[in-house]
């Protein structure tokens, strides 16, 4: 699948097509909409160590770090926590392929939870407050309100795992719920507050990038003015239905670039992002109301499509008659996107 990779010499981000084999991770360049036949590079997994979640880049919470036996660092970015954890588990399995006992231990640890005896909740909170290694506090927006010094549920889960307070996301959610029950943390905003009303203890804390929390004694929310918000809040406030990397043809130059697509409902919008950029702002998007979507045949290049494309194309025509040509990585993925988008048109 597609993953952004940080370069070794020029420290910029490039999207590459990754293929995981038993002993190596290959990555390919996409040129003109098609994967090049020879790999651009390879990461040898023998003696490799993996860090996930990796919090070395504050703006990129979905990183996996691989350190090879020769001490070369590779940073890969996924587009969702589910995808990141799936890649991390598969890569870890490949690293330990010759050691089945280690693989069994990995699965056992991910499915069990016990608070370490020498760790107290007070100790965890003190570590969270640490100015250099603690949880990063940021301003966040929720329902038009701007909150100071908050963190998201998924950011706290990542932090607990990276600081070895928990092994799996299930453990970290359990631990975060305990911190909330003991009044160390409190929810702010609609999503996290509503979750606390759940009768199921495991659903009171949300491992979610839209659920906001703060330290219990931290302060107030500030309502933001419209001038402070540089994007349309309503169109970005919908529930995320599906997200992933797809290849899109440009409108002007007709070149093909990998974009991260995010499909939202209520309101129904499809936004796309440049995964090589540091900010997390869409570079484009459109309402799905009144759109037409269809798969394109793979035998030949349809009119309106430029370049030597890989295949698995589909087309979206907006109600303003703007045509978007998009490539999925497989026929199955194309079907999944079409089936997810159609009900929202």
Go through the domains of the chain in sequence order and give each one's CATH number.
Answer: 2-111 (2.30.29.30), 121-215 (1.10.10.10), 233-342 (2.30.29.30)
Q: What is the mean pLDDT of the chain?
A: 83
- Residue 86 is classified by DSSP as H
For 247, phi then psi, to 5°, come to -100, 130
pLDDT at 160 over 90: yes
What's the pLDDT score for residue 148? 82
What's the pLDDT score for residue 104? 57
pLDDT at 299 over 70: no
Mean pLDDT is lowest, of 32-36, 100-104, 284-288, for 100-104
Q: Tokens representing 219?
A: 């302060």
What's the gap between Cα 46 and its chain centre?
Answer: 27
Percent of the chain with pLDDT over 70: 84
Cα dihedral 178, 181, 184, 187, rounded to 10, equals: 110
What's the pLDDT score for residue 344? 95
What's the pLDDT score for residue 101? 57
Strands 13-20 and 2-6, bridge-based pairing? antiparallel
Residues 58, 67: Cα–Cα separation, whole Å: 19
Nearest to 257 by CA among 271, 274, 243: 274
pLDDT at 223 over 50: no
pLDDT at 217 over 80: no
Mean pLDDT is lowest, of 39-48, 84-93, 99-108, 125-134, for 99-108
């Amino acid at each position: 699948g597609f993953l952004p990779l940080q370069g070794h010499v020029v420290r910029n981000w490039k999207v590459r097509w990754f293929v995981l084999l038993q002993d190596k991770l290959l990555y390919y360049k996409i040129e003109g909409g098609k994967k090049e036949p020879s790999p651009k590079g390879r990461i040898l997994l023998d003696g490799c160590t993996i860090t996930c979640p990796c919090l070395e880049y504050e703006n990129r919470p979905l990183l996996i770090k691989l350190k090879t036996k020769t001490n070369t660092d590779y940073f890969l970015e996924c587009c969702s926590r589910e995808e990141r954890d799936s890649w991390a588990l598969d890569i870890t399995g490949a690293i330990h392929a010759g050691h089945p006992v280690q693989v069994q231990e990995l699965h056992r640890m991910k499915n069990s939870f016990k608070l370490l005896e020498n760790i107290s909740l007070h100790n965890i909170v003190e570590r969270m407050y640490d100015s250099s290694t603690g949880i990063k506090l940021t301003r966040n927006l929720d329902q038009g309100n701007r909150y100071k010094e908050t963190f998201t549920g998924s950011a706290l889960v990542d932090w607990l795992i990276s600081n070895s307070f928990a092994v799996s996301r299930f453990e970290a959610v359990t631990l975060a719920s305990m911190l909330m029950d003991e009044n160390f943390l409190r929810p702010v905003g609609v999503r996290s507050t509503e979750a606390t009303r759940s009768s199921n203890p495991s659903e009171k804390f949300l491992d979610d990038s839209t659920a906001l929390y703060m330290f219990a004694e931290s302060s107030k929310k500030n309502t933001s003015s419209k001038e402070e918000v540089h994007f349309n809040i309503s169109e970005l406030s919908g529930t995320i239905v599906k997200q992933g990397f797809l290849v899109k043809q440009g409108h002007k130059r007709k070149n093909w670039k990998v974009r991260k697509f995010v499909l939202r409902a209520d309101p129904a919008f499809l936004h796309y992002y440049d995964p090589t950029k540091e900010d997390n702002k869409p570079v484009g998007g459109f309402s799905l109301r009144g759109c037409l979507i269809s798969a394109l045949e793979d035998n030949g290049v349809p009119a309106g499509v430029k370049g030597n494309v890989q295949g698995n194309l589909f087309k979206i025509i907006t109600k303003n008659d703007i045509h978007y040509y998009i490539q999925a990585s497989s026929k199955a993925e194309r079907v999944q996107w079409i089936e997810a988008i159609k009900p929202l048109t």
